[in-house]
Structure 1
Amino acid sequence: MDSPSRAVYEALPDALDANSPVRVTALPDGSVDTFGPVHVGAGTVVEDRTDFAGRVEAGASKSFRLVPRRREPGGQATNMALQAHALSDDVTLYGYLDDPLFADLPFETVSMGTPARVSVCEFVEGDVVLAEASGDVSAWDLAALDDVADLEAALGADAVCCGNWVSIPGMTDALRALGDHLLADVFVFDPGDLTGTDPSFLADFLDALAVVGDGWSRVVLSVNRREADALASAGGVGTDATGVDFAARLAGLRERTGISGVVCHDEAAATAATPDDVVHVANLETEDVTRQTGGGDRFDAGLAHGLAVGWGWRSALGLANTCASYYVERGETVTREDVRPYLAGYV
């Protein structure tokens, strides 16, 4: 780990102890997530994702079963809310939560309908996620939120964490309308997995994000490396093939949208293109991987907390990395109290 990044992590526990919780709104999705291994035939476990793909392509196996190990409340908004709550923030989750699985969440929830159903197929090299969309979730728009909430209260929290553009057709139009209602200090938006999305849709999304960025809230786009590359290409700000390096592509995306920051959470480091500079914070080198989905959402909530309490970009990225790494490594959401002992093993 480089010295500037180490300094960020060394200072982080004291900085976290010194700040107060913030008020966070998370929205707008919700899903029931079932995790388990894939079986074929008479109980044979397919552990290797390449083996699974080969069986499908060759037609050697036509029937597979997901054998559930556990069921959890899920969705990007739910995951963000869980992490924000673990950092002691005052959280309200607006989502599609009409399932008993959401009843015991330890913060305020407001449901707008039936959740999606997600199957997480666990393989050695990484999970494969299969989603069964809910008609309620896919039909979300700002009017659906207005039906169940006071928009001024919901969108006037210290931080608003929003996601899953990829699963909600009305989200682009909602972003355009959001600019008239968004009063939060910080708005962190994670669009979800953009793999295979039509570039014209991505360009339209960037245009809508620019409308939100015209407001006075600090608007931050949070993506992974593949998503950043797809958006940069669609937005006309260069690719590897055109010789434009990654930092320049992030900076180009920020300039294209006019928002406060474009953040990429990658395996090696978190990078933020800001109005002043492109900054990096090296990631924690986790030895074991317990969970392979949900880490990015924890990153988003940590980032939102850091920015909402007034930290600089490096400190906010450090907390975001800590939240993501802890979850990926241990399969649990890091609490405010856990941060100090966890980082003691790294710095």
Structure 2
Amino acid sequence: MGAECPDSPRRIVSLPDGSVDHCYRVTGPGGARLESRAALGRHLLEDGETFPLEHLEVRPGGQAVNASRQIHALGDDAALVGHLDHSVLADLPFETHSMGPPATIHVLAFDGEECLFPERTDRFAQWGVDDLLAAIDWADLVDADALCCGNWVSFHGLSEVFDRLAARSVDCPLVLDPGAIGLAEYAAITDLFDALAAADDSLEVALSVSQSEYEAAAEVVGVSGDDPTATLSALRSALEISAVVFHGTDEAIAATRTGPTRVETPDVDDPQLTVGAGDRFSGGLACALARDWPWEDALALGNACASHFVATGETGDRSALASFVREQG
């Protein structure tokens, strides 16, 4: 990476997924709108058989897509290499490279929360380095100021990409949100962890995880404890990577080689959307790491991006995030 002015845009490459999300509102007995997943569960247990769906919208989705939208909103140069061959994904306002058709996901929307039902497909299980390099030149990939990857659980070929990055001694931060890692087989997870450890010899690898993802990773490597900060630190040490970053409702924690950093998450009294907030966190984190920000500042930016999205359902730009943070005190 060349020398940058402090406020100059960074080029951040995200990969490899993409989806078309079909969103519905669920109606219960008597035509009343069901307000939560718990309410739907209760009606199912009470032998409910018919639940009409009100179609709300069709929207672009995918972890890499969401992260790129946040990166672009922050004013950086987002470059998305994903599965984008669909009209819903055709007008994204930044650099894109498509590797084929996206996934289809059906989303049940409740008040402040969503439930996702991806269509089953084996297409992405076969994805790998050759598919990536058919869409973007290796030089354009590794010349990035940061890499932001998501949805490893659907694209196990990312492990192969990380192996290639390790062999080529690429020098930039790598943020990985693996997705629902607990759904993967043990051998695939250990292969991923081996690839991340090898890549960290040249890259600064930050594994960005939610509560369930952190617990699944900790179980695989055999670490546990009542203190989440100590457990995250033990997980990072076991994985032999630069950082494990936990993004939660109450706080974000980064366990690094120099020690842990904790930053409180802004309160959101009336959540609008939660699915996709972690992707905005990862996008903000990648922007911060591309500038070599201190971890406290990097976590604060990721938190602001995620919390603003939860509060508004919108991807916040710099001005919106600044106003949101001021309002939060």
Same fold (TM over 0.5): yes
Q: TM-score, normalised by structure 1?
A: 0.87
Question: Aligned pair 1:324/2:310, yes or no?
Answer: no
Q: 1:179 to 1:316 in 2, by over 3 A?
A: same
Please name the residue that 2:26 is paired with: 38
Q: Distance in 2 between matches of 1:344 and 1:46?
A: 34
Which shows bigger deviation, 17-26 or 136-145? 17-26
1:310 aligned to which of 292, 306, 309: 292
Q: Distance in 2 between matches of 1:172 and 1:239?
A: 28
The SS at the match of 2:199 is helix
Letter in 1 for 2:23: F
Q: Distance in 1 between matches of 2:152 and 2:174?
A: 14
2:21 and 2:104 in contact (8 A); partners too: yes
Letter in 2 for 1:154: L
Which shows bigger deviation, 168-177 or 103-112? 168-177
Q: 1:308 to 1:125 in 2, by over 3 A?
A: closer
Q: Distance in 1 between matches of 2:20 and 2:166?
A: 30
The superposition leaves residues 280-323 of structure 1 with CA deviations (integer Å, 9 ceiling, x where unpaired) of 00111122101111000000011111111121100000000000
Letter in 2 for 1:206: F
The SS at the match of 1:119 is strand
Question: Aligned pair 1:188/2:191, yes or no?
Answer: no
1:155 and 1:182 in contact (8 A); partners too: no
Please name the residue that 1:221 is paired with: 207
1:114 and 1:134 in contact (8 A); partners too: no
Please name the residue that 1:9 is paired with: none
Q: Distance in 2 between matches of 1:230 and 1:135?
A: 23
Please name the residue that 1:145 is paired with: 132
Which shows bigger deviation, 227-236 or 261-270? 227-236
Which shows bigger deviation, 159-168 or 337-346? 337-346
Describe how 1:16-165 pairs up with structure 2 within 5 A: 19-39=7-27, 45-57=33-45, 59-61=47-49, 63-124=50-111, 126-165=113-152
Give percent identity, aligned residues only: 38
Q: By how many angstroms is 1:71 displaced?
A: 1.4
Q: 1:313 to 1:40 in 2, by over 3 A?
A: same
Q: 1:41 to 1:116 in 2, by over 3 A?
A: farther
1:299 and 1:324 in contact (8 A); partners too: yes
Describe how 1:197-236 pairs up with structure 2 within 5 A: 197-214=184-201, 216-236=202-222
Q: Distance in 2 between matches of 1:182 and 1:263?
A: 23
Which shows bigger deviation, 197-206 or 299-308? 197-206
The superposition leaves residues 225-272 of structure 1 with CA deviations (integer Å, 9 ceiling, x where unpaired) of 2211111111112244xxxx2112211121122211110001111000
Q: 1:184 to 1:133 in 2, by over 3 A?
A: farther
Q: By how many angstroms is 1:60 displaced?
A: 3.1
Q: By how many angstroms is 1:196 displaced?
A: 4.2
Please name the residue that 1:266 is paired with: 248
Q: Show structure 1 runs of 5+ residues with no match.
A: 1-16
The SS at the match of 2:179 is coil
Which shows bigger deviation, 295-304 or 136-145? 136-145
The superposition leaves residues 186-244 of structure 1 with CA deviations (integer Å, 9 ceiling, x where unpaired) of 11000012344444443333222212222x1211100012211111111112244xxxx
The SS at the match of 2:266 is coil
Letter in 2 for 1:149: I
Letter in 1 for 2:327: G
Count of aligned pairs between the two proteins: 325
Q: By how many angstroms is 1:279 displaced?
A: 0.7
Q: 1:184 to 1:98 in 2, by over 3 A?
A: farther
2:113 and 2:272 in contact (8 A); partners too: no
1:287 aligned to which of 266, 269, 282: 269
Q: Distance in 2 between matches of 1:201 and 1:58?
A: 39
1:115 and 1:134 in contact (8 A); partners too: no
Please name the residue that 1:12 is paired with: none
Q: By how many angstroms is 1:18 displaced?
A: 6.0
Q: By how many angstroms is 1:24 displaced?
A: 0.7
Letter in 1 for 2:300: G
Q: Distance in 1 between matches of 2:314 and 2:86?
A: 22
The SS at the match of 1:32 is strand
Q: 1:111 to 1:125 in 2, by over 3 A?
A: closer
Q: Distance in 1 between matches of 2:322 and 2:29?
A: 47
Q: By how many angstroms is 1:135 displaced?
A: 4.5
1:142 and 1:178 in contact (8 A); partners too: no
The SS at the match of 2:268 is coil
